[in-house]
Structure 1
Amino acid sequence: MIPASPLPGGGDRLFTLGELERLIAERRHAVADKSYTRSLLDAGVPRIAKKFGEEAVEAVIAAVMKDKPALLSEAADVIYHLLVLLQASDLSLDQVVAELGRRTRQSGHEEKASRPPAT
C-alpha cells in the first residue's frame, strides 16, 4: 500500500493516490476549458504520453542535479501524469499494484526474463 499523506491545511484527513485517481476520473466529465485534466484526456494517449515523458525527463534532471525541491515537484508531476495516462488507457492504479505484487513473488532476474519482449 502506498502511504497516505496529510492534506494541505492540516487536519487528520489523509490524501492518497487512490483519491487522486478518483479525482482524475471525475475530471473526465469536467468542462475542458476549466480542467487541465479534461483537456489532457481529450487530447488523447499520444499527448498524455508526451507530457508524461517530459515530466519524467525533468525529474531525472532534478535528481542528477541533486535538486531535492525540484525533484519533489517533478515527481508529483510524473505521478499525476502517469495516473492520467492510465485513465486514458483504461487501466487502474489497482492493476499496477497487482502487477507489482506479481513481480515481487519472483527474483528480479526471473521476473525480468518473464516479461514479453519490448516492441
Structure 2
Amino acid sequence: MSLKALSDTILARRGADPETSWTAKLLAKGPEKCAEKFGEEAIEAVIEAVKGDRERLTSEAADALYHLLVMCAARNVSLDDIEAELARREGRSGIAEKAARKGS
C-alpha cells in the first residue's frame, strides 16, 4: 500500500463507526490520543532500530507511519500538506534548513 492509499483510507474512515474501524476509533478519541499513540509507535520503532532487528523495525516503522498520518488527519494536516512542505525543502541542505528554523 502506498502512503497516498493509506492516507486516503484514513480520511475515508473518518466518519466510520468506531466499533468497526480502528482508525475511526482513534480519531473519535481526539488529536491528543492520536498523538499519544503515534509517540508510542515511534518509541517502539526506535527500540527496534537500536536492537537491529530488521523485520521488527520494518513492522514498527509501518505502524509509526500509519499513526503519524492518523495524528495529522486528526489536526487536518493532509499527506498533500506534508508533501508540499517536503517539496519546499527540496534541494536545500538539512543543515541550512535547521539553521533557518533556529531563527524563527
Name the SS of the counterpart of 1:28 in structure 2: coil
User: What is the Cα deviation at residue 107 of structure 1?
Assistant: 2.0
- More relative contact order in 1 or in 2 (CA 8 Å, sep 6+)? 2
Of structures 1 and 2, the larger Rg is shown by 1
Work out whether 1:31 is the aligned partner of 2:17.
yes
> What does residue 43 of structure 1 align with?
29
Which residues in structure 2 correspond to 1:1-119 (within 5 Å)? 15-115=1-101
Post-superposition CA distance 1:36-91 (Å, at most 9, x none): 10010011111010100000000000011011111011001000001101111101
| TM-score normalised to structure 1 length | 0.81
User: What is the Cα deviation at residue 109 of structure 1?
Assistant: 2.0
Instruction: Tell me whether 94-103 or 34-43 shows the greater mean CA deviation.
Output: 94-103
Name the SS of the counterpart of 1:115 in structure 2: helix
Q: Determine what percentage of the aligned residue pairs are the same residue.
A: 49
User: What is the Cα deviation at residue 104 of structure 1?
Assistant: 2.3
Distance 2:103 2:12 in 1: 35
RMSD over equivalenced CA pairs, Å: 1.6
| TM-score normalised to structure 2 length | 0.92
Identify the structure with the greater helix proportion. Answer: 2
Runs of at least 5 residues in structure 2 that lack an aligned partner in the other structure: none
